[in-house]
Every structure is written in C-alpha cells, then in structure tokens.
Amino acid sequence: MEAVITSPVSAPGGGAVRDVAALPKAHLHLHFTGSMRHSTLVELAEQNGVQLPDALVEDWPPKLRATDERGWFRFQRLYDIARSVLVTPDDLRRLLRETAQDEASEGSGWLEIQVDPSGYASRFGGLTPTVELVLDAAREAGDAAGIGVGVVIAANRTRHPLDAKTLARLAVHYADQGVVGFGLSNDERRGRAYDFEGAFRIARRGGLLSTPHGGELQGAASVRECVDLLGADRIGHGVRAVEDGRLLERIVDRGITLEVCPASNVSLGVAPTAADVPVRALFEAGARIALGADDPLLFGSRLARQYSLVRDEHAFTDAELAELARQSIQGSAAPDAVRKELLTGVDAWLAAPSDAPRA
C-alpha cells in the first residue's frame, strides 16, 4: 500500500505532467467479471471450452450502445458469456489476484469490487459458499498485491425485491469479514430503486454503505430515488444528476459520492464522447467524485485512464486530479489507517516536482 512516487512523465503535447498511475487513490466502481484481463478471458475460455463471440476476441473491445434496451441486452449477453468462463474456484481466485495486481499498478491502494453472487451461485455451491469464496479470494489477492480489497454485494434490479433482501441479509452477515457495501445494478429501465427500499434498509442497519447504480441510463429521477429512498452514500454513475440543480445541491449537501466512469459512459452511449461526461460541471458544483472503470473487460480501459481522460478532456490540473483522488479515498469504506496513508500519498504526489504543471 506504499505510495510510489515516480518522476513526471512526458505528455503527448510536450512538457511533463505527473503520472496518474502513481497517484494514490481508491477504486470504488469495478464489477467482478468486468475486471478480468482480456488475455485471461481468452485463456480461460479455451481452458474451459467456452466459445467466445468475435466481439470478445478479434473485435475486442466490443462496440456497444446501451441507450436502448436491445443495446443493453447485447452488453448483458457479452457480460454473461464472459462470466461463464469462470468455472472453478481457482479461476475466480486468479481473476481477483490479477485484478488486485492491476489495481496496485494503477495507484489504487483500496479497491471495492462489486459482485452479485447470484450470478455465480450455481457453480460454487450456492450463495453463501460463493460469498465466502469471493471474500477469501479478495483477502488473498489484496495481501499479495499490497492493497486493501473490500467487497460490495450488489442486487440485480431486474430480479424480485425479495431476492435483494436475501442478499442484503447475507451481505450484513459478512459485514465484519470484508463486505463493505450493498449495491443495485443492471438495467435501470427495468427496475426502479423504489422497489428495493426494504433491502437497502437491512443493509444500512447492518452498517453497510448504500451504493446503488442510478442516473446512468435513466435521468435525475432515478438518482433522486437512490438519494431519498435508498439512503445512498454513493451513487454508481449518477452523472445525470447534473440535469436537476436542486437534486445536485442535495447530493453536495449530504456529501454523497458519485462514482463517475467516463470510459463506460462513452462505451455505452450515455455520453457521445468523454468530453460530454459532465465531470467538470459536477466537480465545480461541489459534488464528490470517485472515478471508476466499471467494466474494463468490456470498455477497454482501467482506472488510471479515467484520470488521464479528465485531464485531457476536461483540463483537470494535477491539483484537481489530486482532489479527485482524495474524494475517492474519503468516499470509500477503507479503514482509517489506510485512508490516512493514501491521503498522505496524494499530498506527496502533488508535492513532487513537475516541470510543466498544466494550468
């Protein structure tokens, strides 16, 4: 977890800027299968006899567009195929081991990885053994890579709210063994946050962070439900909160962190280009932001790239990037000692000389 300070690297436009991969940060929005290395997907598919579509082999990363239900269905189908290559407990341990290594090399000293155990339960002996396997593998992977790894159990909003309650109880049961939050994922158009109030009440009473997805495929109303009904501490994406000034004010006042994933938004057609993701507007409004990669396996880029994207597309200075890193750490469930160490590392990163800091 030690902060690594490297010398400034050359920017494409000339001059030197600090290396964003060396900036200590927390990664709060990363899905389990979606974190897999592409090379591992191809290897495991071969090993386990899974036929991958071209979009996941020679045409990788796939061209996606999820702004209509058909597009989302295609994204989901590719995700399900990718998940099907994880057959044995060792496959799952390998995924987490490599993900933790990749996180460490991108400056992420604390990772919260999101998993819906229902998607794996049939292969790993049921929900409880799946959660136990994930937690054990996460601990092992984090220790080996020298980072902290927490787990967010996420319910699927297209399934019955009672399933979500079952998951919330399970998540709470493992709250002191590595589960740090409770999420809600999948197609916002097919499951309103409103229906999952009960599950989130269980999770919050059990001391978990509330981290539902909202305001990605649907507008501000979806974010509002996450804030008002699910007691969100963080919101997955939430970028469309920018469409409602009063809601945004509430998000700022409550100190809710938005897990903004620029490359994902572009890949899924939520924003036409990275320049259209409202990172600058949200930041200027005072919203707390934790940049995330969402599903590197399907979108083709990891965490450090999200920081360089906002540097390149939204003219974030190194001081502003450092502030984003601080907000990611402050919005995390990392223990105090870890937060302190990472925050000290952020200051050191910024204090290191840069020949030509961008204004």
Q: Which residues are catalytic?
A: 216
Our CB check for Zn ion shows the closer of 156 and 308 to be: 156
CA distances from 24 to 44, 269, 304 (A): 31, 29, 10
Exposed, middle or buried: residue 284 (CB in 10 Å: 0-12, 13-18, 19+)? exposed
Minimum Å distance from CB 302 to Zn ion? Answer: 14
Could you tell me how many residues of this chain bind Zn ion (CB under 5 A)? 2
Those residues with Cβ within 8 angstroms of residue 100's Cβ, 6 or more apart along the chain or in another chain:
111, 138, 141, 142, 144, 145, 147, 149
Task: Indicate whether 259 belongs to the interface with Zn ion (CB under 5 A).
Answer: no
Interaction pattern, residues 232-251, with Zn ion; x per rule: CB under 5 A: ----x---------------
Minimum Å distance from CB 213 to Zn ion? Answer: 6
Our CB check for Zn ion shows the closer of 8 and 183 to be: 183
Pairing of strands 108-115, 25-31: parallel
Sign of the CA dihedral running 199, 205, 110, 291: positive
Q: Please name which of 275, 353, 287 lies closest in space to residue 315, comparing C-alpha atoms.
A: 275
Stretch that binds Zn ion, among 37-45, 66-74, 201-209, 292-300 (CB under 5 A): 292-300
Stretch that binds Zn ion, among 37-45, 286-294, 308-316, 332-340 (CB under 5 A): 286-294
Task: Indicate whether 112 belongs to the interface with Zn ion (CB under 5 A).
Answer: no
Stretch that binds Zn ion, among 84-92, 195-203, 293-301, 310-318 (CB under 5 A): 293-301
Minimum Å distance from CB 210 to Zn ion? Answer: 15
- Three-state DSSP at 159 gives coil
Minimum Å distance from CB 294 to Zn ion? Answer: 5
With residue 183 as reference, give the H or E element that holds it.
strand 179-185
Our CB check for Zn ion shows the closer of 114 and 308 to be: 114
* Nearest position to Zn ion, beta carbon: 294
Q: Are 182 and 209 in contact (CB under 8 A)?
A: yes
Q: Are 165 and 199 in contact (CB under 8 A)?
A: yes
Residue showing tokens 């259209």: 276
Minimum Å distance from CB 25 to Zn ion? Answer: 18
> Contacting Zn ion (CB under 5 A), which of 102, 116, 233, 294?
294
Residues that bind Zn ion (CB under 5 A): 236, 294
